[in-house]
Amino acid sequence: MKWTPFSNSIRRTTFCAKERKMLYGNTVLPMKSFISTIKAIEKVVLFLLVIVFLPLPLHAAYDVYVDETMDFGSIRTVAIMPFINLTREQYAAERVRDLLMTQLLASKAVYVIPSGEVKRGIQRAGIADPTSPSPEEVVKFAGIVKVDAVITGVVREYGEVRSGQSAANVISLSLFMIEAQTGRIVWSASTSKGGIDLSDRLLGGGGRPMDDVTEEAINDLLDKLFR
C-alpha cells in the first residue's frame, strides 16, 4: 500500500487511540484528564499562532504587483523620473532617487540614464508634472531618451520618528515601473524600513543613520523587482 504523508498521520492517530483504549479502558483516570487539558492548551496555542502569523504572508503578497505578461528580461535601459515627496524633508525625493539610481546601476541588471538626460527628455516631451506622467507622456518621453521603461515613485515618509524617549529614522516609499511602449504599469512595490524597535526602546540611541535605512529600503524593493 502506498502511504502519503496525510494518510500516514491518520494511521498514527488511530494507533494512538487504540493504544489508549488498551491502556486505560473506559474508565476515566486522573492522567487522562491531564492529557485532555494539555490537548486543549495545544489547541489554544495553535489558534493563537494562526491568528498572529496568518496575516504576514497575506500582507507580503499585497505590497508587490507584477504584470505576469511582461517580459522583464527585455528591459535594458530605464529612466528614473523625479519622485513625489510627501515628507517634510526638502530633498527626500532627490536623495532616494539618486540612491536608487546608484543601486540599480550597481545591480548591473539595467542601465539607468543620467538624471541630466532625464531632465532634457522631460523638457523636450513637455511633461508638465514629471512625478506622475500620463501614459501618452511616458511613451513620448521614452521615445526621446530611448529607454525601455520609466520608474516613478512616491516617498511617503522620510526622517526621524519619536515615541516617548526613543527616536529612530524611518522611510516609506513606493515605486512604479511603467513600460515605455504602452505606458502601462508593469511592476509596483512599496516598502517601509527603520523605525523604533525593541532595542531602541530598551537601550535608547537614535537608531541607524538615514542613509543606511534608505539603502535597506531600496535593496528590499530591488529584491522584489528581481525576484
Partner 1 sequence: MTCLINFSDRRGLSGILLFSLLMFFKAGIAEGNGFTEELKRHALIIAVYPVENLTGRVAPLKEFGQLIKDELRKRGVDILDEDRLSSFMASHRVRYVAGIDTQTAVALGKETGVQAVLIISLELYNDIPPPKIAIRGRLVSVGRWPEILWMDSVSLTGDDSPGLFELSIVNDPLILMKKAVMRFVELLSKGLLEVSSNTGSEGIDRVKDENGAFSAQMMKKRRVIVMPFFNKSGRNYAGEIMRNHFIEQLTKKGWFSVVEPGVLREILLQFRIIMADGPSLADIRAIASVIDVDFVFSGTVFDYNDYSGPIGIPKVGFIVNVVDVSKEKMIYSSMGYRRGNYNVFLFDWGTIRTAHRLAAIMAEEVVDEFQESR
Distance CA 211, CA 223 (A): 18
The b/e string for 2-17 (b: 16+ C-beta within 10 A; e otherwise) is: eeeeeeeeeeeeeeee
Vertex 214, ends 204 and 130: CA angle to 5°?
140
Residue selected from 116, 126, 164, 202 as contacting partner 1 according to rule CB under 8 A: 116
Asked whether position 205 contacts partner 1 by CB under 8 A, the answer is no
CB of 189 to partner 1, least distance (A): 21
Segment interacting with partner 1 (CB under 8 A) among 24-32, 46-54, 64-72, 115-123: 115-123
Helical segments of 25-146, H only: 30-53, 55-62, 92-107, 115-125, 135-145
Which one among 98, 129, 160, 223 touches partner 1, defined by CB under 8 A?
98
129 is a contact residue toward partner 1 (CB under 8 A): no
Q: Is 118 in the site for partner 1 (CB under 8 A)?
A: yes
Q: What is the DSSP-derived secondary structure letter of residue 26?
A: T
Could you tell me which of 127, 82, 74, 119 has the C-alpha nearest to residue 100?
Answer: 82
Q: Which residues of 42-74 are buried (b: 16+ CB within 10 A; e: fewer)?
A: eeeeeeeeeeeeeeeeeeeeeeeeeeeebebee
Asked if 147 touches partner 1 (CB under 8 A), the answer is: no
* Among 14-22, 54-62, 91-99, 181-189, the segment contacting partner 1 (CB under 8 A): 91-99
Using the minimum distance from each CB to partner 1, give the nearer residue, 145 or 186.
Answer: 145
Q: Is 135 a binder of partner 1 (CB under 8 A)?
A: no
Instruction: Please select the residue that binds partner 1; options are 115, 131, 132, 219, rule is CB under 8 A.
Output: 115
Residue given cell 489547541 in the structure block: 43
CB of 156 to partner 1, least distance (A): 19
Contact present, 175 and 221 (Cβ < 8 Å):
yes
Q: Are 173 and 99 in contact (CB under 8 A)?
A: no
- CB of 26 or CB of 90, closer to partner 1: 90
Q: Is 128 in the site for partner 1 (CB under 8 A)?
A: no
Position among 63, 67, 94, 220 found at the interface with partner 1 (CB under 8 A): 94
The answer to whether residue 89 forms part of the interface with partner 1 (CB under 8 A) is no
Q: Which residues contact 45 (CB under 8 A, 6 or more apart)?
A: none
| Chain contacts with partner 1 (rule: CB under 8 A) | 90-91, 94-95, 98-99, 101-102, 105-106, 111-120, 209, 211
